[in-house]
């Protein structure tokens, strides 16, 4: 039985691809924050993926890129895959890109106009990754209303680090 060859950290490819997109198509658009730069943040192995955040002047996205190609099942572009993390389940959209390759993306902020500087956006990305992997942010079943058992935590709840009001919102 042949062993699978693991892929290297996609951070350099992701950053280069999004810098090119910024230079070629995004500069000067009204939803682009000139105080935020392109950066691939915190990429580390998670299961058979590389997990990290891609920060651009127009969006902040969680990204799952293949680490073990034998275990990664690509989807047609735009299709969703629900991924379970210690903090809950989140929907990711399949992306097919010639430069970066197939990966999954989950929007945290789009646009990123509320960030006054790159450092604040970067720290938010790091905190979002930490919260995603922290099981203390998952809602316990005894606190969850029965009708809400299949509802994943929202990205906004993840970033706020609190999910106590979620049951109330689901009943409205």
131-163 residues labelled b (16+ CB within 10 A) or e (exposed): bbeeeebbbeeeebeeeeeebbbebebbbeeeb
| pLDDT, average across residues 25-48 | 93
Residue 66 CA to residue 72 CA, distance in Å, equals 6
Number of other CB atoms surrounding residue 92 within 10 Å: 21
**pLDDT above 50 (res 33):** yes
Q: What Rg, from alpha-carbon coordinates, does the chain have?
A: 17
DSSP structural state of residue 83 = E
Nearest to 122 by CA among 36, 47, 28: 36
Q: Are 59 and 107 in contact (CB under 8 A)?
A: yes
Predicted confidence at residue 159, as pLDDT, reads 58
Predicted confidence at residue 167, as pLDDT, reads 42
Predicted confidence at residue 171, as pLDDT, reads 33
Please tell me the least confidently modeled range out of 44-58, 76-90, 127-141: 127-141
**pLDDT above 50 (res 102):** yes
Beta-ladder partners of 66: 49
- The per-residue pLDDT of the chain, averaged, comes to 83
Q: Are 155 and 90 in contact (CB under 8 A)?
A: yes
Phi, psi of 82 (to 5 degrees): -85, 130
The model scores a pTM over 0.85: no
Please tell me the least confidently modeled range out of 94-103, 118-127, 131-140, 161-170: 161-170
Predicted confidence at residue 6, as pLDDT, reads 86
């Amino acid at each position: 039985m042949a062993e699978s060859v693991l892929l290297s950290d996609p951070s350099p490819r992701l950053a280069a691809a999004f810098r090119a997109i910024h230079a070629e198509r995004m500069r000067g658009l009204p939803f682009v924050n000139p105080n935020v730069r392109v950066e691939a943040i915190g990429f580390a192995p998670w299961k058979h993926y590389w997990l990290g955040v891609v920060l651009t002047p127009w969006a902040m996205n969680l990204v799952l890129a293949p680490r073990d190609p034998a275990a990664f099942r690509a989807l047609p572009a735009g299709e969703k895959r629900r991924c379970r993390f210690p903090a809950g389940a989140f929907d990711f959209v399949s992306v097919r890109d010639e430069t970066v390759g197939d990966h999954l993306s989950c929007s945290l902020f789009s646009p990123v106009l509320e960030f006054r500087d790159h450092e604040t956006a970067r720290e938010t990305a790091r905190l979002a990754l930490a919260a995603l992997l922290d099981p203390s942010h998952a809602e316990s079943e005894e606190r969850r209303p029965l009708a809400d058992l299949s509802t994943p935590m929202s990205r906004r709840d993840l970033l706020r680090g609190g999910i106590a009001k979620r049951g109330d919102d689901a009943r409205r």
